[in-house]
Amino acid sequence: MTTVDLPLLPLGRGTDLDSERGVECPGDLPPASDPELVARARAAKAKLGERVFVLGHHYQRDEVIEFADVTGDSFKLARDAAARPQAEYIVFCGVHFMAESADILTGDDQQVILPDLAAGCSMADMARLAQVEACWEALAEAGIGEDVVPVTYMNSSADIKAFCGRNGGVVCTSSNAQTVLEWAFEQKQKVLFLPDQHLGRNTAVLKLGLSLKDCVVWNPRLPNGGLRPEQLREARMILWQGHCSVHGRFSPDTIGELRAEIPDVQVLVHPECQHEVVLQADLVGSTEFIIATVQAAPPGSAFAIGTELNLVKRLAAAHPDKRIVFLDRTVCYCSTMNRIDLPHFVWALESLVDGVVVNRITVDPETEHHATMALQRMLDLPG
Ligand code: 13P
Ligand code: SF4
């Protein structure tokens, strides 16, 4: 994660908020290092034509999003990945777990490429298969092994998705967490929610009506998760102690200040934010929801948005008739999303033009088989 200290960030170009504060956005990313790269990316993409399909997550840099055939949140991209069966190459501009899901959901003859292999996700790394298996054994020892459905957020590695598939569980995204959890609680009385405690808690409490007392947090670094067997037996939601290192930074403290400063501001946040932040927000939803909400708002509306900065800045630029401010004192890009830059993108595309596949992401057949079960259970749910 890259952070830069600055005053609450006015992002809307030409808004009176800009002139009042006279603050240039110091969070601007530098332009692509070599302007010729844009022409090279265009040329390589044109040469590849229908053979390549470029997917771009909303948190990607502008210089990369410009070349995406489809943009979306994790859920939309998971569905769209399979939309071009004729494309030999899927270039995934996002992070590793998304590219793995794309490999699982696309045909065996299609190759998925992640332009920079260092584009991982700190949240996904917080749940390792051995840790999750140890937790699962502890649940069995506590006598509740048969009562729990494992649910993993899309932001997890393929082997965690496969673990869920093997054990009657399912994947969810921030777009459909409520629907998926409702399905899970129809199957059994308890859920083990991986790896984002905030999405799990926010959805359980604010959408399903569970109480905070129904939730316990399993710390994989402590013996028995730091929980007594009776705590596990009483809980409905067993939340994995993982979080997003970007969304976890937003704090409730700035919300009051913003409301005092911009009287009609609507606070719009992603459900990966801490529960205390979500409780004070007006609206909560996935990146697709955030975009749709801003688009549907009338001119003059004001939003303070708590999600990744590339997206917030793009929204501000696309809606100069609305006030869009970033919900924090620190500029906060997701450093791993930002790893996919134009030089890496051009390298990946030009290599394909030369007949060389670089940075291919593959999931082994056994993992793929079980992960598909968990992903398919999600895709089969309505919505
Ligand atoms: P989605 O809204 O796409 O689920 O994005 C959240 C996220 O952090 C992706 O890494
Ligand atoms: Fe992972 Fe958070 Fe970055 Fe998404 S924004 S890739 S959850 S660290």
Q: What is the pLDDT along the chain (383 residues), one digit of tens a residue?
A: 443 333 344 443 333 333 322 223 435 555 556 778 999 999 999 999 999 999 999 999 999 999 999 999 888 888 888 888 999 999 999 999 999 999 999 999 999 999 999 999 999 999 999 999 999 999 999 999 999 999 999 999 999 999 999 999 999 999 999 999 999 999 999 999 999 999 999 999 999 999 999 999 999 999 999 999 999 999 999 999 999 999 999 999 889 989 999 989 999 999 999 999 999 999 999 999 999 999 999 999 999 999 999 999 999 999 999 999 999 877 679 999 999 999 999 999 999 999 999 999 999 999 999 999 999 999 999 87
DSSP 196-234: -HHHHHHHHHHTS---GGGEEEE-TTSGGGG--HHHHHH
The rounded Å distance from CA 246 to ligand 2 centre is 6
Neighbours of 157 (CB within 10 A): 23
What pLDDT shows up at residue 275? 98
Q: How far is the CA of 73 from the centre of ligand 1 (A)?
A: 6
110-139 pLDDT, tens digit per residue, is: 999 999 999 999 999 999 999 999 999 999
pLDDT for residue 14: 31
Using DSSP, state whether 191 is helix, strand or coil: strand
Whether 270 is in a domain gets the answer: yes
Shared domain for 239 and 143, answered yes or no, is: yes
* Domain termination site, one of 243, 271, 288: 243
Q: Could you tell me if residue 19 is inside a domain?
A: no
Do 182 and 194 lie in a common domain?
yes
Whether 173 contacts 153, CB under 8 Å: yes
Residue 283 and residue 351 share a domain: no
Vertex 199: Cα angle to 196 and 202 (nearest 5): 140
Q: Which residues line ligand 1 (CB under 6 A)?
A: 73-74, 155, 173-174, 244, 272, 286-287
Q: Is 140 in the same domain as 228?
A: yes
Tell me: do 299 and 346 sit in the same domain: no
Full residue range of the structural domain in which residue 136 is found: 124-243
Distance of CA 229 to the CA centre of its chain: 32
My answer on whether 193 and 92 are in the same domain is no
Whether the CB of 332 sits within 6 Å of ligand 2 = no
User: Given this model, what pLDDT does residue 30 score?
Assistant: 52
Ligand 2 atom with the smallest distance to the CA of 247 is 2
- Ligand 1 nearest atom to the CA of residue 288, by list position: 2
What is the pLDDT at residue 367?
A: 98
| Sign (positive or negative) of CA dihedral 292, 293, 296, 298 | negative
CA-CA distance, 176 to 378, in Å (whole number)?
A: 8
Q: Is the CB of 121 under 6 A from ligand 2?
A: yes
Q: Same structural domain for residues 237 and 150?
A: yes
**Residue 8: what pLDDT?**
43
Asked if residue 147 and residue 226 are part of one domain, the reply reads: yes
What pLDDT is stored for residue 29 in this prediction?
A: 52
Could you tell me the distance, in angstroms and rounded to a whole number, from the CA of residue 67 to the centre of ligand 1? 20
Separation of CA 26 and ligand 2 centre (Å): 22
**What is the rounded CA–CA span in Å between residue 234 and residue 303?**
40
DSSP per-residue letters across 66-107: TT-SEEE-HHHHHHHHTT-TT-SEEEEES-HHHHHHHHHHS-
Measured distance CA(153)–CA(170) in Å, rounded: 9
Q: How far is CA 169 from CA 104, 183, 203, 260, in A?
A: 17, 10, 17, 44
Q: Ligand 2 centroid to 329 CA: how many Å?
A: 19
How many A from CA of 338 to the centre of ligand 1? 14
Domain count, the chain: 3
Atom 6 in ligand 2: residue holding the nearest Cα? 121
Asked if the structure places residue 381 within a domain, the reply is no
Give the CATH number, domain containing residue 51: 3.40.50.10800
Nearest CA to ligand 1 atom 3: 73
Residue 106 lies in a domain: yes
